[in-house]
Amino acid sequence: MAIAGRARELRAEGRDIISFGAGEPDFATPESIVAAASRAAHDPANHHYSANQGLPPLREAVADYTARYSGVHTVASEVVVTNGAKQAAFQTFAALIDPGDEVLLPAPYWVSYPAGLELAGGVSVPVPSTSANGFKVTVDDLEAARTDRTTALVFVSPSNPTGAVYSEGESRAIGEWAQENDVWVIADEIYQRLVYFTDVAPSIVAATPGLENWVIINGVAKSYAMTGWRVGWMVGPEDIINAATRHQSHATSNVANVSQHAALAALTGSQDTVEEMREAFDQRRKMMHSMVSGIPGVECVEPEGAFYVFPDVSAVLGGKYKTSSALAEGILEEAGVAVVSGESFGAPGFLRLSYAVSKDEIERGVTQIASLIERL
C-alpha cells in the first residue's frame, strides 16, 4: 500500500508510472454480475440488515462451488460469508487461535497473515522455502518447525506472492502430517482457479480424506475480477463457523446485500469469463517471466498460479541498493515502475511483480526495470 501511495503521488506530479504492485485483476467485473447487482440495488428487501452468516442462497451456492472446485462436500450451515477473504482469514484466526498458540506460515507468505495472527494473540512461525524447491515446503520442513504449541498451518496454493502450486500428492502428504499431529489446516484457496498447468489447484482438504480439522478460505475477488465488491467466505466445521459468525455480528454485521447478490450471480452464472481472464493472465505470465528472467543477475522461478512473478534480485544488491526494499524504491523513483519488495512477504532479496496488467505495460515496465538494473 505504501508503494501504491507513492505511485499515486508521482502520477499526480505528472510522472508516467507503471504499476506491477496491484494484487487484483485489471479487468472489469463481468457485465452479467453487474446487472445482477443493479437489480438487487433496486429491490427494497436489500436495503436492510440481513443474516450475519450471509444470504441463504449465497451460502448454498458457496457450498456447491466448494464441492465443484475444491472437491469438498459441505452444506450451507458450514459457510459464513465475509467482507472479502481477508476478513475470513482474520475471523478464522479469532475462532481457532488462543494467546500463545503457534501457527506455521510457509514463507514467503501474504503480508496480512502475521497481522491477523498477532491480533488473535497467536505467534507466527515462518517456515522458509527456497526458489530451488519451487517455493514449496515439505513435511520435514514443517516437522522441524512444530512444537507442542503448534495449533495450525496456513496452507496457500496457489501462493501469493510466489505463484507456487502444490500437487495433489504434495498436498496429501502435508494434510496427513497435519492430521497425525492434530494441527488445524487453514487452506486459503482464493487463487485456486488461476492456474496454468491444470484446470484447478488441488485442495489439500480433498486430497486428504482423513483430514478433520480444516477451514477453507475463498472468495470472488480474483477469479471474477471483483476485488472491490468485498465478498469472501470461510467453510469449515459448524462450531468454528458459528464462532466466526458471532465475531462478525459484532464487527461488521452482514456483507452488503447488493455485493452478495453479485457474488451469487458470479457463482451460479456462466463461467466463460473466468476462463477468458485465465487465458489472458497465462499469456502475460509467459511474457513477464521470459522478460524478467532475461535481466542479467536476476533469477526467476516460473509461477504456476495466481498472477505474480517473484524474482530473486539478491545478486544485484550491495552497491547503490543494499536491500530489495531499497531497490523497489529506486525502481519506482528512477524507472517509474511500482513493484513490491520481498521483505513484505518475509523474503528479503526478492521482488513481487504482478502481471495483472496489459502486455504493453509489461513490455515497457520490465524494459525500464532492466535498464536500471543493468546500470548498477
Same domain, 234 and 336: no
Same domain, 153 and 286: no
Residue 194: band (very low, low, confident or very high) from pLDDT cuts 50, 70, 90: very high
Residue at a domain's end among 268, 296, 312: 268
Residue 16 lies in a domain: yes
Same domain, 78 and 103: yes
Residue 34 lies in a domain: no
Residue 133 lies in a domain: yes
The reply to whether the predicted model has a pTM over 0.95 is yes
The tens digit of pLDDT for each residue in 100-139 reads 999 999 999 999 999 999 999 999 999 999 999 999 999 9
Same domain, 232 and 311: no
HEC readout, the chain: CHHHHHHHHHHHCCCCCEECCCCCCCCCCCHHHHHHHHHHHCCHHHHCCCCCCCCHHHHHHHHHHHHHHHCCCCCHHHEEEECHHHHHHHHHHHHHCCCCCEEEEEECCCCHHHHHHHHCCCEEEEEECCHHHCCCCCHHHHHHHCCCCEEEEEEECCCCCCCCCCCHHHHHHHHHHHHHCCCEEEEECCCCCCECCCCCCCCHHHHCCCCCCEEEEEECCCCCCCHHHCCEEEECCHHHHHHHHHHHHHHCCCCCHHHHHHHHHHHHCCCHHHHHHHHHHHHHHHHHHHHHHCCCCCECCCCCECCEECCECHHHCCCCCCCHHHHHHHHHHHHCEECEEHHHHCCCCEEEEECCCCHHHHHHHHHHHHHHHHCC
Residue 147 lies in a domain: yes
Q: How many domains does the chain have?
A: 2
Residue 299: band (very low, low, confident or very high) from pLDDT cuts 50, 70, 90: very high
pLDDT of residue 126: 98
The tens digit of pLDDT for each residue in 32-41 reads 999 999 999 9
Residue at a domain's end among 268, 284, 306: 268
pLDDT of residue 5: 84
Average pLDDT value over all residues in the chain: 97
Same domain, 290 and 238: no
Same domain, 289 and 261: no
Residue 40 lies in a domain: no
pLDDT of residue 321: 97
Residue 331 lies in a domain: yes
Same domain, 299 and 342: yes
Same domain, 258 and 299: no
Same domain, 282 and 257: no
Question: Is the pLDDT reported for residue 152 higher than 80?
Answer: yes
pLDDT of residue 40: 98
The tens digit of pLDDT for each residue in 206-251 reads 999 999 999 999 999 999 999 999 999 999 999 999 999 999 999 9
Question: Is the pLDDT reported for residue 328 higher than 90?
Answer: yes
Same domain, 99 and 157: yes
Once rounded to an integer, what is the mean pLDDT over residues 285-314? Answer: 98
Q: What percent of the chain has pLDDT over 70?
A: 100
Same domain, 90 and 203: yes
Residue 79: band (very low, low, confident or very high) from pLDDT cuts 50, 70, 90: very high
Domain containing residue 264: 48-268
Higher pLDDT, 287 or 22: 287
Question: Is the pLDDT reported for residue 179 higher than 80?
Answer: yes
Residue at a domain's end among 244, 268, 292: 268
Same domain, 98 and 188: yes
pLDDT of residue 3: 79
